Amino acid sequence: MKFPIIAYGDPVLRRKAPSIEPDEYPHIKALIDNMFETMYGAHGVGLAAPQVGLSMRLFVIDASVFSDDDASLKDFKRVFINACILDESGEEWPFNEGCLSIPEIREDVYRKQNVKLSYYDENWKHHEETFSGMAARVVQHEYDHIEGKLFTDKLSPLRKRLIEKRLNDISKGMVDVDYKMKFPAVKKGR
């Protein structure tokens, strides 16, 4: 089952998501499957629970599409539950990012080269792992979602001002996407 993706402007995207316990979500695997289905349906490489309206520390990633540029990403399909950044290191580098909640906008975003994370996988197995380069980039972008942050927050004041109207338009549903979305400033569903 595909979820509608929550568009820019919805408060759920701004909430710091709480951790979850295994007992609270006995059907988490079905939820994870639906999140992957939603992500693939929208041609995304990552999707965080707040983007489908669920404020919880869960995100999924499949960055294998980048494996032409980085062979280490060939099997980079992961589930991150209760992720917590332990350390970020290395030089900041720019990459032209987009986000399924902010369609049609892409901007250069600077992020650090490496990120060390504590997280649980879909079997509630604990991991402590360091990601680098593009893997780190995707993890950092999705991690921001569970912290209530968006890539547009990281832009210069000038860039922010230049895209302000387009962001407002997205909230109102004035955007052409080929996947189902839920727009905060549209009262009736569309």
The footprint of Ni ion (CB under 5 A) covers 99
How many angstroms separate the CA atoms of 115 and 130, rounded? 6
Q: Which helix (H) or strand (E) segment is 33 a member of?
A: helix 28-41
- Closest approach of Cβ 145 to Ni ion, in Å? 6
Residue nearest to Ni ion as judged by C-beta position: 99
**Active-site residue flag, 92:** no
Q: Which two tokens stand for residue 49?
A: 């629970």
* Residues 16-31 as b or e (16 or more Cβ within 10 Å = b): ebeebeeeebeebeeb
Tally of CB atoms within 10 A around 13: 22
- Based on CB atoms, which residue is closest to Ni ion, 60 or 99? 99
Q: Residues 112, 92: contact at Cβ < 8 Å? A: yes
- Based on CB atoms, which residue is closest to Ni ion, 32 or 99? 99
- Based on CB atoms, which residue is closest to Ni ion, 13 or 31? 13
Q: Which two tokens stand for residue 177?
A: 């996407």
Closest CA to 49 of 119, 109, 115, 101: 101
- Based on CB atoms, which residue is closest to Ni ion, 73 or 150? 150
Closest CA to 72 of 139, 132, 112, 126: 132
- Closest approach of Cβ 125 to Ni ion, in Å? 25
Q: Which of 21, 107, 142, 147 is catalytic?
A: 142
Residues serving a catalytic function are 142
